Amino acid sequence: MEQLIVLGTGNAMCTKCYNTCFAIDTGEGVLLTDAGGGNGILARLEAAGIAYSRLHHMIVTHEHCDHLLGVVWVVRRIATLMRSGAYDGDFRIYCHAGLVEPIRAICGFTLQKKFTSLFDQRIWLVPVADGDLLNLLGCETVFFDIHSTKAPQFGFTFRLPGAGRLTCLGDEPYNPLCEPYVAGCDWLLSEAFCLYGERERFKPYEKHHSTVKDACQLAERLGVPNLVLWHTEDKNYEQRQALYTAEGRVYYHGQLFVPYDLDVIRLSE
Tell me the whole-structure pTM to 2 decimals: 0.97
Is pLDDT of 29 > 80?
yes
Residues 212-232 have pLDDT tens digits of: 999 999 999 999 999 999 999
* Residues 27/2, Cβ–Cβ less than 8 Å: yes
* Residues 162/138, Cβ–Cβ less than 8 Å: no
- pLDDT of amino acid 234: 97
From start to end of the chain, where are the E strands?
Answer: 3-8, 21-25, 30-33, 55-59, 91-96, 123-128, 133-136, 139-145, 154-159, 165-168, 187-191, 226-230, 255-257, 264-266
Q: Are strands 3-8 and 133-136 parallel, antiparallel or unpaired?
A: unpaired
| Residue 261: DSSP 8-state | T
CATH code given to domain 3-266: 3.60.15.10
- pLDDT of amino acid 269: 64
Q: Are strands 21-25 and 3-8 parallel, antiparallel or unpaired?
A: antiparallel
Residues 232-265 have pLDDT tens digits of: 999 999 999 999 999 999 999 999 999 999 999 9
Residues 56-82 have pLDDT tens digits of: 999 999 999 999 999 999 999 999 999
- pLDDT of amino acid 28: 94
- H/E segment holding residue 84: none
Long-range contacts of 112-117 (CB under 8 A, 24+ apart): 114/79, 114/83, 115/75, 115/76, 115/79, 115/80, 115/83, 116/79
Give me the residue spans of the domains in the chain.
3-266
CA distance 35 to 41: 6
